[in-house]
Amino acid sequence: MNKAPQDIIIKPIITEKSSYDAAVGKYAFQVAKTATKTDVRNAVETLFGVKVVAVNTVNYDGKKKRQRYVEGTTPSFKKAVVTIDMEAKDVSYLGKGGKATKADKKYKTAIEEFGIGQ
Residue at 113 is within a domain: no
Q: What is the pTM of this model?
A: 0.78
Q: Tell me if 118 is assigned to some domain.
A: no
Those residues whose C-beta lies under 8 Å from the C-beta of residue 62, and which sit 6 or more positions away, are: 73, 74, 75, 76
Domain membership of residue 112 (yes or no) is: no
pLDDT 10s digits, 14-59 = 999 998 998 899 999 999 999 999 999 999 999 998 899 999 999 9
Can you name the residues that pair with 26 across neighbouring β-strands?
83
**Which residue from 19, 9, 105, 90 is spatially nearest to 48, judged by alpha carbons?**
9
Q: pLDDT tier at 104 (50, 70, 90 boundaries)?
A: low
Whichever domain contains 58, its CATH number is 3.30.70.330
The answer to whether residue 9 sits within a structural domain is yes
| Position 59 in a domain | yes
- Answer whether 36's CB lies under 8 Å from 56's CB: no
Residue 39 lies in a domain: yes
How many domains does one find in the chain?
A: 1
Q: How confident is the model at residue 118 (pLDDT cuts 50, 70, 90)?
A: very low
